[in-house]
Structure 1
């Protein structure tokens, strides 16, 4: 990620931790990472650069500092854009994906791999080509595409897939549609690499990837229709954005069991139950979490009286000792999440 790309993920009004952004990209789903990812409005970045090394953004940070676009609080380990940086970045062209609100609900990387291989296989099949080098993908992707192809193949497959892709790409900006088609490999057409796409479109690799994420998500969203040719291939990649274990915990709590009962029944620690619930509260819409039972109005009232001001500045350790004795950190964090959700839906 180049300096200007990282700069678009920072703010001149809010201190942000580079390790939170890094861990989001790498898919490190600790409650702390998810909470601050939510607070920074960057949760859609989750899992989008799993190959990123720890410290992989440090060079971009240093470049932003060199340009005087960024200040670093070494004690708090946070970053903030300078006014100069904010103005320069506002004048830097950047892509604004239109499907970003769906990214946490889709395994985008798997969807992209399946899509590219499906397009290649269908193109070669339409030209009766039996000998070609398939795209390098993992075994799981090959298995899914193979199963899909043997079920879907027929004289109408190529035309129906082409029309479906045209319909999806027509809903996107022209630059996104161009990048999506330029990456496709098929009969007589080698798809362009990320480096080649960035050079051809005179942009950065990250900006190319944003367009790819947008394009793949739009195609996968259209493929949810049962008549879509890629329905069986891409449909299963839509998911609830919390772990299966967290889903099980949430279901038990929603059914009316208290947290200790859930821990005993599931044979897990109470702290694990609380982590599952915080993950669910962060990742799910406000209406999909049982706040009324887990964080009743009386608890909200107590916290409302005890904490004011900017949520970023709230500290559990600053609460009165009586409140700390009465309420575990879990309730403090859950109240903050509830407040954030209230702001978003207001």
Structure 2
């Protein structure tokens, strides 16, 4: 990631924790990471760079600060806020901004991406009756899945069907996104270009090229939710719940009206784990998915909101009066913040 990329993830209105951005990219799904990802509107970054090492953004962050584009904030975790010079540097050239990213956390992107790229290569080689070629380096499970798909749908019409499906989806995307995606595909006598090669060719950053690629993969996967789509057997199963199975089970039990302590006993988990599951679900699911009125009674909402600052980012549990901390635990405090955010309250 380059300074131009990090600038797009920062704000001049909100100090943002560098470690949160890093952990989102790495797929570290702690409640704290997910909560601040929600507050930063950056949840779409989840799992986008699983190989990023811890501290992998430190060097580029220091470059941004050294250039005067951001300042470190005072906090136990490093925070960055854009300066006016940073806003100018961020906005001085057009930068690719993905459109609707709400579906991104709902797709197992790494699996969908490998399946799609290998399926395109296999289909392309099949169209030219090529029996010997080097397949893309993917994991064994992907190779087996794509092999099963190919033998199920193999037909002389398959290449035309796949081409038509891809063309239909790419036509709905911005021309540059379609061009970058197409140039990155591997097929018959066509090695796909790397993100760096694409960046050089299209005068963008490597991260922008990757975001365009992700945009296309998600769009194709969405189209493949149609059971008649030629890639449906491959890509439809890669859609997933944005919360863990354990959290889903906890939420299902809570929705029956069972008290939280009893949920813990029935599921043989700690009460603190029940609360973590509910916070995860609250962050990742629509407001209608949780019984907020039951989990945060009106009296609790009124008492807490009366004592808290107007801006949610300024809320601190330890700053509450001791009497309120005794009456309401951190779970209630954080759940209220999530609910307020979901309702459009800043």
Q: TM-score range by the shorter chain?
A: over 0.9
Q: How many residues align?
A: 345
Aligned residue runs from structure 1 range 20-99, under 5 A: 20-76=20-76, 77-99=78-100
Aligned: 1:202 with 2:193: no
Give the drift of 1:297: 2.3
2:157 maps to 156
The SS at the match of 1:264 is: helix
The SS at the match of 1:343 is: coil
The SS at the match of 2:72 is: strand
In 1: Cα distance, 2:214 partner to 2:176 partner? 13
2:277 maps to 276
**Which segments of 5 or more consecutive residues in structure 2 lack a partner in the other structure?**
none
1:213 maps to 214
Which deviates the most, 67-76 or 229-238? Answer: 67-76
Q: Quick check: 1:242–1:279 contact (8 Å CA) kept in 2?
A: yes
The SS at the match of 2:148 is: helix
Q: Once the two structures are superposed, what CA deviation does each residue of 1:196-234 show, in whole Å capped at 9, x if it has no partner? A: 111111211100011011111111111111110000100
In 2: Cα distance, 1:39 partner to 1:75 partner? 17
In 1: Cα distance, 2:305 partner to 2:72 partner? 32
The SS at the match of 1:94 is: coil
The SS at the match of 2:123 is: helix
Give the drift of 1:73: 2.2
In 2: Cα distance, 1:30 partner to 1:210 partner? 24
1:118 maps to 119
2:337 maps to 336
In 2: Cα distance, 1:209 partner to 1:289 partner? 34
Give the drift of 1:32: 0.4
Give the drift of 1:265: 0.3
In 1: Cα distance, 2:192 partner to 2:16 partner? 37
2:237 maps to 236
Provide the alpha-carbon RMSD of the alignment: 1.2
Give the drift of 1:99: 3.6
Aligned residue runs from structure 1 range 149-188, under 5 A: 149-188=150-189
Aligned residue runs from structure 1 range 282-321, under 5 A: 282-321=283-322
Which deviates the most, 142-151 or 245-254? Answer: 142-151
The SS at the match of 1:72 is: strand
In 2: Cα distance, 1:296 partner to 1:222 partner? 41
Q: Once the two structures are superposed, what CA deviation does each residue of 1:77-101 show, in whole Å capped at 9, x if it has no partner? A: 2110001111221123210112412
Q: TM-score, normalised by structure 1?
A: 0.97
In 2: Cα distance, 1:291 partner to 1:160 partner? 47
Aligned residue runs from structure 1 range 1-20, under 5 A: 1-20=1-20
Which deviates the most, 83-92 or 110-119? Answer: 83-92
Which deviates the most, 310-319 or 74-83? Answer: 74-83
In 2: Cα distance, 1:74 partner to 1:135 partner? 46
